[in-house]
Amino acid sequence: MKMKRQNFSIYILLAVGFVFSAVAFGQNETFSDPNADYTFKLPDAKWLMTTKPSTTIPNVEYVFGDRSNGHLEIRKLSVQKTELMTDLVHNSEEQKLQFLPGFIAGKDENYKGYLPGVVFNFDYVKASKAMSGRFYYLRANDTTVYVLRFTGLQDSMKSLRGQADSIARTFNVN
């Protein structure tokens, strides 16, 4: 009887240890840097930083394993106080993107996380491969908008959409 209790206790300890280790490995990594005035959470350890912010350029870039699988650029834009988000997306940003080979604009989506904004989806072709873009325009204040630019192979971007949404949802200004 005593032997069965010891075995049962060992199994309980192993189960509790497994639960705690699963929780620890499932935690998100938080991006924070003294040269950037924003933070966000990365939902997967496969996101690797390729461009670190500096005192002169606060931009950051990540790739999901490989640049073609998923690439994230974060940029800060200064805008007019009265400029509407849809005007920003379509009158300035889309104007630049329309010259990508095979460019096809998708529909806009309203978006809410820590910061409200608009998501612009599009498809294009690069090196004979079908690519997709998903750009989050998040308004920090009347004159500042952050753009989270996700691009990658179409199939990869479909599977990364949840992660892109999660990163945008957790994006916040210090």
pLDDT for 86 equals 87
CATH number at residue 132: 3.40.1000.10
In-domain check, residue 151: yes
In-domain check, residue 6: no
In-domain check, residue 2: no
Give the DSSP H/E element, type plus range, for residue 160: helix 154-170
- For the record, the structure tokens of 107 come out as 């529909």
Q: Are 19 and 30 in contact (CB under 8 A)?
A: no
In-domain check, residue 13: no
In-domain check, residue 61: yes
In-domain check, residue 159: yes
pLDDT for 25 equals 43
Burial of residue 81, with CB atoms counted within 10 A of its CB: 0-12 exposed, 13-18 middle, 19 or more buried: exposed
pLDDT for 90 equals 87
Domain count for the chain? 1
Domain with 79 in it: 28-173
pLDDT for 119 equals 96
In-domain check, residue 15: no
pLDDT along the chain (174 residues), means of 10: 56 40 56 95 96 92 94 95 89 88 93 93 96 96 96 96 96 94
Sheet with 172-173: strands ordered across: 29-31, 38-42, 172-173
pLDDT for 28 equals 74
Residue 156 CB partners (closer than 8 Å, separation 6+): 64, 68, 69, 70
pLDDT for 94 equals 86
